[in-house]
Amino acid sequence: MSNTTTTKYAPGSSAKARENNFGEQEMRLSFKIKDFGPWVKENTNEAGFINLIVSPRKEVGTYGDTHSIKLDTFVPKPREEVVETKVNSAPKKATAKTAPKQEAADDQDIPF
C-alpha cells in the first residue's frame, strides 16, 4: 500500500503492558465485541486474516493504556513481480574472474 493511507485504529480495544509475578513483561489486550467484531469483518483480508500492529503510546491513556492497536495494511508484492524485479535489476554483462592457475598436485601429497 502507499504511505498515504490513514491509520485505522481498532475500535473498542485496549492494550496494557504489565509485569507478572515472575517479572516478565506481558501485554493485556481487551476488545469490546460490539465495536470490534464488525470492524474485524470489514478489514479481514482475502486469506481470512486480520493483521494488527501493537505499538507503544507516547503517553499512557486515560484508562492506563500503554499501547495502541491498529490495522496492518501492508500488502506484499505478488511473487511474480518480485522475481521480475530481481531479473530486471541484474547487471547487463556479468564478468567472471578466473582464479590463478595452480600446478596439479600428486596424489601422494594429499593427506587422505
Report the pLDDT averaged over residues 34-41.
95
Our count of domains for the chain comes to 1
Name the pLDDT band for 87 (thresholds 50, 70, 90).
low
Q: How far apart are CA 13 and CA 70, in angstroms?
A: 10
pLDDT at 38: 95
Residue 109 makes CB contacts below 8 A (sequence gap 6+) with none
Question: Per the domain annotation, does 46 fall within a domain?
Answer: yes
Share the mean pLDDT of the chain. 81
* pLDDT at 105 exceeding the cut of 60: no
Question: Per the domain annotation, does 56 fall within a domain?
Answer: yes
Distances in Å between the Cα of 10 and the Cα atoms of 5, 52, 81, 88, 107 are 15, 8, 31, 40, 71
> Are 74 and 51 a contacting pair, CB within 8 Å?
yes
Question: Per the domain annotation, does 110 fall within a domain?
Answer: no
Side-chain-facing half-sphere of 1: CA atoms under 13 Å = 10
